[in-house]
Amino acid sequence: MKHPIRQTVLLNSIPVRPLHLLKHIGRLADERGVSVYLVGGVVRDLLLKRENLDLDLTVEGDGIAFARLVADRYGAGLAVFERFSTARLAFPDGLKMDIATTRQESYAQPALLPTVQPASIEADLSRRDFTINAIAAQLNPQQFGRVLDPCGGQRDLRARTIRVLHAGSFQDDPTRIFRAIRFEQRFGFRLERATVRLLAQAASADLIQGLSGPRLQNEILLLFAERDPVRAIARLGQLKLLRFLHRRLCYTKDVEDVLAAVPKALAWWARRFPDSAIDRPMVYLMALSSKSSSTVVAWIIRRLALSREQAKHMGFVGRRVDRALKKLTDKGTAKPSQVYRLLADFSDEALVLLLAKQRSMQHGAHVSLLKRHLVAYVKNKAVKTALTGRDLQAMGLQPGPQYKAILGKLLDARIDGTIKTEADERALVEKQL
Ligand code: ATP
Ligand code: MG
Task: List residues near ligand 1 (CB under 6 A).
Answer: 40-41, 54, 56, 128-129, 133-134, 173, 175-176, 179
For residue 3, the model assigns a pLDDT of 47
Q: Is 419 left (phi over 0), alpha (psi -120 to 50) or beta?
A: beta
CA distance 148 to 55: 17
Q: Is there a contact between 198 and 166 (Cβ–Cβ < 8 Å)?
A: no
What is the Cα 319 distance to its own chain's centre? 26
For residue 112, the model assigns a pLDDT of 79
**Is residue 319's pLDDT more than 90?**
no
> Which residue's CA is minimally distant from atom 9 of ligand 1?
41
For residue 400, the model assigns a pLDDT of 86
For residue 204, the model assigns a pLDDT of 87
CA distance 49 to 266: 29
> Which residue's CA is minimally distant from atom 11 of ligand 1?
41
Q: Ligand 1, from 53, 98, 124, 128: best to mutate by most atoms within 8 Å of Cβ? A: 128
67-103 per-position pLDDT tens digit:
999 999 999 999 999 988 899 999 998 899 999 999 9
For residue 374, the model assigns a pLDDT of 94
> Which residue's CA is minimally distant from atom 25 of ligand 1?
129
3-58 per-position pLDDT tens digit:
445 556 789 889 999 999 999 999 999 999 999 999 999 999 999 999 998 999 99
Q: Ligand 1, from 56, 96, 129, 226: best to mutate by most atoms within 8 Å of Cβ? A: 129
Compute the mean pLDDT over every residue in the chain, rounded to the nearest whole number.
Answer: 92
**Is residue 250's pLDDT more than 90?**
yes
Tell me phi and psi for residue 416, to 5 degrees. Answer: -80, -10
For residue 83, the model assigns a pLDDT of 85
For residue 1, the model assigns a pLDDT of 40
Of 106-115, 233-242, 327-336, the range with the highest mean pLDDT is: 233-242
For residue 363, the model assigns a pLDDT of 76
For residue 2, the model assigns a pLDDT of 43
127-183 per-position pLDDT tens digit:
999 999 999 999 999 999 999 999 999 999 999 999 999 999 999 999 999 999 999
SS3 99: strand
User: Counting every residue, how long is the chain?
Assistant: 433
For residue 248, the model assigns a pLDDT of 92
For residue 333, the model assigns a pLDDT of 74
383-421 per-position pLDDT tens digit:
999 998 899 888 888 888 888 899 999 999 999 989 999
